[in-house]
């Protein structure tokens, strides 16, 4: 994977620039819309963490991935409570917890399944209507709820700034997330995607979520039969 070499180079340079060890940064390869074969290929190239956005899509791919020893799977999409059980079974880390209700639901199902799940709190730091995530003012109540959990471990914060071609536009959001993580003493910071992960690393990201830069553009859904243009 030539793309992986380029991404690795970008990560190493950003880490060096900011005086951080490469080992402190987890590369999560975002494999949504790509096949299980592409995931296996990335695993063979050395990738050990994968991110998926849709519970159902990953449930279909998961049976083909039983040989990926040591791989960890991160859920990074919007989670509905009715998918919480399946999500806990399929994923090691759920990055998108944004309400006490969801946290309590995860605790309930993880307890029933007798598993432990790591979670991050998804923060909405912009005013965008379309985005999900909790407001910074909600962190104390989320952490209080997390303390009550025996099967859910709140490890950090995650955010997704408004998309921009210019990574400098993302930097203030990364800085804000890092400052919140320091304030609440949370070790993990998931921030930075293909277009802006260097800035995220410079601001302290411990997890970056990279799709396009590793796998190329995501496949477009095929037009339904009969609707194809003639
Ligand atoms: C799709 C997605 C990514 C990866 O985006 P790229 O621009 O392809 O790197 C990262 N984080 C989340 C939450 C996503 O949905």
Summarised one tens digit per residue, pLDDT across range 62-74 is 999 999 999 999 9
pLDDT digits (tens, 9 = 90+) for 112-162: 999 999 999 999 999 888 889 999 999 999 999 999 999 999 999 999 999
- pLDDT tens-place string over residues 83-97: 999 999 999 999 999
- The closest-lying atom of ligand 1 relative to the alpha carbon of residue 96 is 13
Which domains does the chain show, CATH number per domain? 2-215 (3.20.20.10)
pLDDT tens digits for 165-210?
899 999 999 999 999 999 999 999 999 999 999 999 999 999 999 9
Is the CB of 105 inside a 6 Å radius of any atom of ligand 1?
Answer: no
* Burial class of residue 148 in the structure, from the number of CB atoms within 10 Å of its CB (0-12 exposed, 13-18 middle, 19+ buried): exposed
Residue 5 or residue 224, greater confidence: 5
Which residues are within 8 A (CB) of 76 and not within 5 positions of it... i.e. 6 or more apart?
Answer: 28, 30, 51, 52, 53, 95, 96, 158, 209
Is ligand 1 within 6 A of the CB of residue 212?
yes
Phi, psi of 27 (to 5 degrees): -90, 115
**pLDDT value of position 131:** 83
CA-214 nearest atom, ligand 1: 9
Q: Is the CB of 55 under 6 A from ligand 1?
A: no
- Check residue 41 and give its pLDDT: 97
Q: How far is the CA of 26 from the centre of ligand 1 (A)?
A: 15
- Give the nearest ligand 1 atom to 215 CA: 8
To 10 degrees, what angle do helices 139-147 and 100-113 make?
Answer: 20
Rounded to whole angstroms, the Cα distance separating 25 from 15 reads 8
Locate the ligand 1 atom nearest the alpha carbon of residue 193 and give its number: 9
In angstroms, what is the span from residue 72 Cα to ligand 1's centroid? 17
pLDDT at 223 (0 to 100): 66
CA of 112 to the centre of ligand 1 (A): 31
Using CA positions, which residue lies closest to atom 7 of ligand 1?
Answer: 194
Give residue 89 CA to ligand 1 midpoint distance, Å: 22
Specify the DSSP element, H or E, that contains 213: helix 212-215
What pLDDT does residue 224 have?
63
* pLDDT exceeds cutoff 60 at 227: no
Residue nearest to atom 5 of ligand 1 (CA): 211
Q: What is the pLDDT at residue 161?
A: 95
- Across 38-66, average pLDDT: 97
Residue 226 pLDDT greater than 60, yes or no: no
Radius of gyration of the chain (CA): 18
Atom in ligand 1 nearest the alpha carbon of residue 28: 10
Total residue length of the chain = 230
Please report the atom of ligand 1 found closest to the CA of residue 30.
4
Percent of the chain past pLDDT 70, that is, above it, reads 96
193 lines ligand 1 (CB under 6 A): yes
Averaged pLDDT, 12-25: 98
Q: Dihedral sign, CA of 187, 191, 197, 199?
A: negative
Tell me how many degrees the CA angle 123-124-127 measures, rounded to the nearest 5: 165
Whether pTM exceeds 0.85: yes
Alpha carbons 33 and 53: distance in angstroms, whole number: 9
CA–CA distance, 34 with 221 (Å, rounded to integer) = 11
Mean pLDDT of the chain: 95
């Amino acid at each position: 994977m030539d793309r992986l070499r380029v991404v690795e180079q970008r990560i190493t340079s950003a880490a060096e620039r900011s005086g951080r060890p490469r080992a402190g940064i987890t590369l999560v390869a975002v494999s949504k819309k790509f096949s299980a074969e592409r995931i296996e290929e990335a695993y063979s190239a050395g990738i050990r963490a994968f991110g998926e956005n849709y519970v159902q899509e990953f449930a279909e791919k998961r049976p083909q991935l039983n040989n990926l020893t040591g791989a960890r799977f991160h859920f990074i999409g919007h989670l509905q409570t009715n998918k919480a059980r399946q999500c806990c079974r399929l994923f090691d880390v759920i990055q998108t917890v944004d309400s006490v209700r969801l946290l309590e639901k995860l605790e309930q199902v993880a307890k029933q399944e007798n598993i432990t799940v790591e979670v991050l709190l998804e923060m909405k730091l912009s005013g965008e209507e379309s985005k999900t995530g909790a407001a910074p003012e909600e962190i104390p109540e989320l952490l209080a709820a997390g303390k009550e959990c025996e099967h859910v471990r709140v490890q950090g914060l995650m955010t997704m700034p408004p998309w921009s071609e210019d990574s400098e536009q993302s930097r203030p959001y990364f800085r804000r997330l890092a400052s919140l993580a320091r304030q609440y003493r949370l070790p993990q910071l998931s921030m930075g995607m293909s277009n802006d992960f260097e800035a995220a690393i410079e601001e302290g990201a411990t997890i970056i979520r990279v799709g396009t830069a590793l796998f190329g553009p995501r496949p477009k859904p095929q037009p339904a039969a009969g609707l194809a243009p003639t």
